[in-house]
Structure 1
Amino acid sequence: MRRLIPHPGLSVLLAVVWLLLANTLSFGALLIGIIIGIFLPIFTAPFWPRRPQVRFRHAIPYVALLLWDIIVANFQVAAIILFRKDDDLHAAWLPIPLELDTPEAITVLAGTISLTPGTVSVDVSACGKWLLVHALDAPDPAAEIARIKARYEARLKKVFI
């Protein structure tokens, strides 16, 4: 079964994304989603050096935390836009030292930071040990770096083996 579907999680994700893009739950859309979900991972399998090992029992709470943080950050950014003056903002560049060592984990961390309103991942150092983040409002940059490392990076170390 693994040879037929080299990345089962990716296959399911591709089929679901296709159904969302098609915006219909018809037999034809489902069939095309299944075909894409099966054949795209087969054709791209040689480009995957190894499958990342993911602990789903840690990944599910991480996704729940991320969704909660996205909702809260939306309200925080809205409050900043509506009720603060430009001179009250403390925008900052945050160089975050990384303890994550796999490219997949670093990518998920960068995506997490960019998905949360008010912050955006800008660059990863060539050595993969630093992540540059821009924060819309960070009066204490050191505290913001510590929050990102404790809230996201520590959890991602448990998700990716």
Structure 2
Amino acid sequence: MSRRPLLEGLLLAMWLIVNESLALHHWLLGTAFALGIAALVRALRPQIAHPRRLGVALRLSWHVLCDVVRSNLAVGRIILGTLRQQPKIGFLQIPLEMRDPHGLAMLAVIITATPGTVWAGHDPADNVLTLHVLDLQDEAAWLQTIKQRYERPLMEIFE
């Protein structure tokens, strides 16, 4: 019995739509396809996330939303050329304490969703994040933002 009936149902529906047929053999092939893919997904992701602390997650979501809006405005000013100084493009090395793969994935999503920043790499041996920043004026502020505003709440949620 699968733990992902929604995934299997969606895969079966996709199979039927792609084949443009409701014939019995497509139902059987689609079901086999859906069950096989669901089994492969389970094998690729053996660890299940167990997020906690809904209040922390909601507060983090609010911070991320505010930061995305603020970053959109800042990047817009850079693109439109309304800044008096050129942006200081750079890379920043950030040592992380968080080890949970789900927390790291969420941190990657947050950073990549924020305009002007890109998750450029992660060294799992040293647990160091490489961050590319479009306007790296204050490295200490970026370090504190990532560590306190994002990593700390993600650790409370996932670890």
Q: TM-score, normalised by structure 1?
A: 0.70
Instruction: List runs of 5+ in structure 2 lacking aligned partners.
Output: 14-30
- Whole-angstrom CA distance in 1 between matches of 2:79 and 2:45: 42
In the other structure, the counterpart of 2:25 is: none
The alpha carbon displacement at 1:59 in A equals: 2.3
Q: Which runs of 5+ in 1 are unaligned?
A: 19-34
Q: Aligned pairs, how many?
A: 138
Q: How many angstroms does 1:56 deviate by?
A: 5.3
| Alignment partner, residue 73 of structure 1 | 71
CA contact (8 A) 2:60 2:149 kept: no
Q: Choose the corresponding residue for 1:60, options 33, 58, 61.
A: 58
Correspondence list, 1:1-161, <5 A: 4-5=2-3, 41=38, 43-55=40-52, 57=54, 58-82=56-80, 83-84=82-83, 88-127=86-125, 129-161=127-159
Contact 1:59 1:159 in 2 (8 A): yes
The amino acid that maps onto 2:156 is: K
Deviation at 1:96, TM superposition (A): 0.7
* C-alpha contact 1:6 1:45 (8 A) present in aligned 2: no
Question: After alignment, is 52-61 or 148-157 more displaced?
Answer: 52-61
Aligned mates of 2:42, 2:51 — CA distance in 1:
18
Amino acid at match of 1:94: L
Greater Cα shift, 92-101 or 50-59? 50-59
For residue 93 of structure 2, give the secondary structure of its aligned residue in structure 1.
Answer: strand
Deviation, 1:42, is 5.0
Alignment partners' CA distance in 1, 2:42 and 2:94: 32
Give the aligned partner of residue 21 of structure 1. Answer: none
Which residue is 1:25 aligned to? Answer: none
Q: Distance in 2 between matches of 1:134 and 1:105?
A: 19
Q: Percent identity?
A: 28
Point out the structure with max Rg over C-alpha.
2
The runs of at least 4 aligned residues of structure 1 exceeding 4 Å deviation read 38-43
SS of structure 2 residue aligned to 1:61: helix
